[in-house]
A and B are shown apart, each in its own frame.
Chain A
C-alpha cells in the first residue's frame, strides 16, 4: 500500500491513479482497460490468497472487475483505491463462497470462457505454475504450504484479517475500513488468528 506521498497531497492515491479513476468514472473504456492492466495482478493475488485455490481465480477476478466497472462511480476517494478494490474483491469472494456452500456445484453452472476470437480460453494451469516460486528451497516451500493450509482452515473472520495483515501487510486502519468493523475488533480477531496458527504450526 504505497499511498503515503499521495496522502500528503490530500489524496490517498497517486495523481495518475486519481486521474485514471476520474476517466473511468466518466465512462472511458480505455481508462478502464488501463485500470485493469494496472490492478489485475493485485486482484488475482487477493483472490488467490483468500480463496486458497486457483480453480476459479480468473472467473472470480473477472466478476470483481465487472463490479468495479459497475460501481466505480461510488468510489469517493475516502480511502485508497487499493483498499476500495480489496473491499470489492473480498465482498465478491465471500458472496461466491456463500453461494457455493449454499447451492453447491450441483446448482451452479460454471461460466464458459471465450475471448475476442470466440475461442474458449484456459489460463488456470499457467497461473497455478506462476504462483509457485522456484527460487525457494523445498523446506521453505513445505513450511509455507503447511502454514497456508492452517490459515485456510481458519474460520473466514479470522483468516481474512490474518491474510490482510500478515500476508498483504495492510494497516489496522485499512483492515478496519475494508471489513467495516472497529479497530478493536480487528486486533482481537488478529490475536485470535495468530494464536490459532501458532498452536497448529510446528516451527
Chain B
C-alpha cells in the first residue's frame, strides 16, 4: 500500500468500514510511514472534535407551554411575517425614484432638443468644417453669402442613417418631408426594397440596399427641415452613441460642391447642423444646401479644431 492509497482510506477506516486484509495493510502502513500516521491522527482528532460539537442539554418547559398554547389556539401559521408597511414604503420609494428618473431623462432629452445643450458639446463638426474652408474655397472657387449647412457623422454608415430615418418615419418621429429631402431626393433610397419578415412572434422589416450608399450626400432643405434634422440627429446619437456625431477626421476637404452651390460673391459660411452655434432663426428663407458626410468618406484629414 502506498501513501496515496493510504490517505484515501483514512476516512474509510474512521467510518469503521475497513475490514480484514485491507485493515491489516492499513495498520501496517501506519507503522511504517510516520507522515501517514500523523495525517491519520490528525483526521481522527478532527472526527473526535466534531463529535464534541455542543448540543442543547435541556429545554425550558416554557417552550412546550408556549408551543401548546399556539396549537390549542389553532395558531399554526408561521410567526415570521412579512413586514408589509416596510415593504410598501420601500416599493413606494422605489416607484418615486423610478418615476423621477424617467421624468428626468425625458426632461433632459427635451432640454437637449430645445436648449441645444447636448449637441453644443460637439463643436468639432462645425469647427472642422470651418477649418476646411480654405481648401473648399480653393477647390470649388466658391464665394457665397448663403451658408452651407453640414452634418458630419464620421462614425455612422449611410445605410445605418437611412435605416434609422425609416424607422423614425415608421413610428411617426420623423416627418415625411424630411425623409423626402434626405433620402428620396438625394437618391439614397433608389432601388432600396423593404421586405416584411417574421421569426416566431417577432415581425421585422428587412431593408435591402442594392449597392453601397455614397459616404457624402448633398440635399437641399428648408429651415424646418434643419430643425427636424437636429431632432433626428439626437435620436441617431441615442441609438448609435455619441461617437456617431463626433468628428475624428474632417471629410469635407475635397468635396465638390460646385455643381450644387451658386456663386454669390460673398464669403462662404459653413454651419454645422449638429453644432452648438446653429440657430434656426438665422437660417435664411427658402432652400439652403445641406451636406451630410458618413463613415467611409475618402477625404483629406484636417485639423480637429481651429482653437
Contacts and interface: CB of A to CB of B under 8 A. Distances in A.
A63 B82 contact: no
B53 A49 contact: yes
Contacts of A110: 80
Contact of B70 (A49, A66, A136, A147): A66
Contact of A198 (B46, B67, B68, B72): B46
B5 interface: no
Nearest to B81: A109
B59 A127 contact: yes
A166 B65 contact: no
Interface residues of A, number: 62
Interface residues of B, number: 39
A107 B70 contact: no
B196 interface: no
Interface stretch (A3-11, A37-45, A83-91): A37-45
A40 B68 CA distance: 13
B67 A44 contact: no
Nearest to A70: B76
B67 A41 contact: no
Interface in A92-132: 96, 99, 103, 106-116, 121, 123, 126-127, 130-132
Nearest to A69: B71
A63 B69 CA distance: 13
A65 B67 contact: yes
Contacts of B306: none
B76 A69 contact: yes
Contacts, number: 140
Interface in A133-183: 133, 136, 140, 143-144, 147-148, 151, 162-163, 166-167, 169
Name A's interface SS: helix
Contacts of B45: 203
A36 B42 contact: no
Interface string B70-86: 11100010111111001
A201 interface: yes
Contact of A107 (B60, B67, B83): B83
A23 interface: no
Interface in A1-49: 29, 32-33, 36-37, 40-41, 44-45, 48-49
Given A29-B68, A115-B69, A147-B49, A45 B56 contact: yes
Contacts of B57: 41, 130-131
Given A29-B72, A107-B82, A107-B87, 9 more contacts: A41-B56, A49-B53, A58-B63, A63-B78, A63-B80, A66-B70, A108-B83, A127-B60, A151-B50
Task: Give the top 3 A-B pairs by smallest Cβ distance, nearest first.
Answer: A111-B79, A44-B56, A166-B50
21 contacts: A33-B68, A41-B55, A41-B57, A45-B55, A48-B54, A48-B55, A48-B56, A59-B80, A66-B71, A103-B82, A107-B86, A110-B80, A111-B79, A111-B81, A121-B62, A131-B55, A143-B49, A147-B46, A147-B49, A169-B51, A194-B11
